[in-house]
Amino acid sequence: MDPIEVIENKEKVFFLLKPIMNSEEYCIIGYEVLGRIKLGDSIKTLSTFFLDPTVPAEYKWEIDKEIYHQAVQYALTQENKPRLFFNIDPSVLIQLDCLEELMELFQGYEREGFSASRVVFEFRVNDMMESVDDVSHMLMYMKASGFQVAIDDIKTSKTNLDYFSKLEPNIMKIDLSDLQESVNHFTYTDVLEAIAIFARKIGATLHFKGIRNFHQLYIAWRHGGRFLQGYYLHEPTNVFLEPSLAKEFLEGKIHTFIDMEHRRLQKQIEFLHGMDSKMIQILNEKDVSLSTDRLMQELTKTFKDVSFRMYICDMYGSQISANWLKENHTSWHNEEKARGKNWSWRTYFLDQIMQMKHRKMGMLSDNYRDIETNDLIRTYSYPVSDEHYVFFDLDPIFLFENDWLL
């Protein structure tokens, strides 16, 4: 788009509002403010104008201010009080040294009645990588002034968690539009789980955008999406909508997800109870004082279809048995070199040991990648005595056939 044409037709620039929904109350809590321009009979997006590095910063700043002004003036006339999410280009603020002007502009809006608590400034990830220190100071200043800040356009292929830790945003906005392009679904969800954990650690809200279908909405919900946005929920509009407009739709979809999760978790609970029952039967029928190897032989017979690797550790994490490994999906052999290894360095180990010690029942780990095989697996563990605990790494084939375990 010709930047001269845009700046000379500033009076034809207008805003659109992209609804943002809250998964807590199933309502519209805010809008992302988008820029459009009407040239002749056609309406064009201003995204190419703002993303073009050759467009002078002065032109971008002028159009930004026009869009901010229009959106806020409209909001001041409405009874609804949603948040407005404004896109910010840090390179423009740095080049023109106009951060103070931006703050004064919105502080003026606050005096008119548009509270700072309703303002979210969004920074695109790619816009801040080369000036992370400057952007970090901007974000701190904005938050200290009562505004919220969001990091936008986070891709699972480029998470940059080290940058996010330094920036400490209020909101992390993840783009799901690349979900269908992902080569490996499990890798994609692994990254989302890591981002979700990281966001919780730094106290940031997860905001998922680019939701275009039922599955993407499910992925957003399952990974802790508090804010949801995309054409599947509602297309952009030029007016504030009734906050509860999509309540029935969104609540119905999320209840479907909850029912799906209930069924999955119920199957996992039944699986755990079944494994525990078999363990109790073995330990009651067999002399527990049998040597570790004798006990392992009994376990490999009973759980040959479930596990591909078994071993026993003491409460300090020291492996007191060999590794028992399944070969060709049928026979087992023991690997002596594993005896004596210590696994307490694994972050979850001591927590699970203490839980098993006091609950006297088995546990199922989260999904994780096996260090040796790189297969996606889970581990079942059980207290065979007050000091000894057996670990079964579940067979990937068994997991694939029982996908409710994944």
pLDDT digits (tens, 9 = 90+) for 27-49: 999 999 999 999 989 999 999 99
Q: Which helix (H) or strand (E) holds 120?
A: strand 119-124
Look at residue 82 in the predicted model and tell me its pLDDT: 97
d(CA 153, CA 172): 9
Residue 100 — very low, low, confident or very high, per pLDDT cuts 50/70/90?
very high
Pairwise pLDDT comparison (167 vs 13), residue with the higher score: 13
Which residues does residue 148 pair with via DSSP β-bridges, in sequence order?
120
Residue 375 — very low, low, confident or very high, per pLDDT cuts 50/70/90?
confident
Residue 258 — very low, low, confident or very high, per pLDDT cuts 50/70/90?
very high
Look at residue 290 in the predicted model and tell me its pLDDT: 63
d(CA 165, CA 80): 34
Look at residue 87 in the predicted model and tell me its pLDDT: 96
* Tokens 């073995």 -> residue: 282
Weakest mean pLDDT among 40-54, 61-75, 159-173, 260-274: 159-173
d(CA 235, CA 28): 12
Look at residue 329 in the predicted model and tell me its pLDDT: 74
Residue 131 — very low, low, confident or very high, per pLDDT cuts 50/70/90?
confident
Look at residue 69 in the predicted model and tell me its pLDDT: 97
Residue 374 — very low, low, confident or very high, per pLDDT cuts 50/70/90?
confident
d(CA 14, CA 238): 9
Look at residue 249 in the predicted model and tell me its pLDDT: 97
Comparing CA positions, the residue from 127, 7, 35 lying closest to residue 135 is 127
Is the pLDDT assigned to residue 316 strictly greater than 90?
Answer: yes
SS3 for 170?
A: coil
Query: Which two tokens mark 41?
Result: 């009979």
SS3 for 389?
A: strand
Mean per-residue pLDDT for 275-282? Answer: 94
| pTM, full prediction | 0.89
d(CA 375, CA 369): 6
Mean per-residue pLDDT for 229-247? Answer: 96
Look at residue 188 in the predicted model and tell me its pLDDT: 79
For helices 247-285 and 214-222, the axis angle rounded to 10 degrees is 60
Query: Which two tokens mark 325?
Result: 């490994």
d(CA 291, CA 314): 14
CB-based burial of residue 372 (10 Å sphere; 0-12 exposed, 13-18 middle, 19+ buried)?
Answer: exposed
Look at residue 163 in the predicted model and tell me its pLDDT: 72
pLDDT digits (tens, 9 = 90+) for 141-189: 999 999 999 999 887 666 667 777 778 899 999 999 877 655 456 677 8
Is the pLDDT assigned to residue 391 strictly greater than 90?
Answer: yes
Query: Which two tokens mark 224?
Result: 């802790």
Contact present, 34 and 16 (Cβ < 8 Å): yes
Edge-to-edge strand ranges of the sheet holding 323-327: 331-335, 323-327, 307-314, 388-394, 379-383, 363-364
Pairwise pLDDT comparison (184 vs 119), residue with the higher score: 119
pLDDT digits (tens, 9 = 90+) for 206-216: 999 999 999 99
Contact present, 183 and 162 (Cβ < 8 Å): no
Is the pLDDT assigned to residue 63 strictly greater than 90?
Answer: yes
Radius of gyration of the chain (CA): 28
Weakest mean pLDDT among 53-62, 194-203, 356-365: 194-203
Look at residue 154 in the predicted model and tell me its pLDDT: 86
Weakest mean pLDDT among 19-28, 224-233, 234-243, 350-359: 350-359
Residue 305 — very low, low, confident or very high, per pLDDT cuts 50/70/90?
very high
Q: What is the largest CA-CA distance in the chain?
A: 89
Is the pLDDT assigned to residue 204 strictly greater than 70?
Answer: yes
Query: Which two tokens mark 200?
Result: 């919780």
Look at residue 262 in the predicted model and tell me its pLDDT: 97
Weakest mean pLDDT among 1-10, 146-155, 193-202, 278-287: 278-287
d(CA 59, CA 105): 17
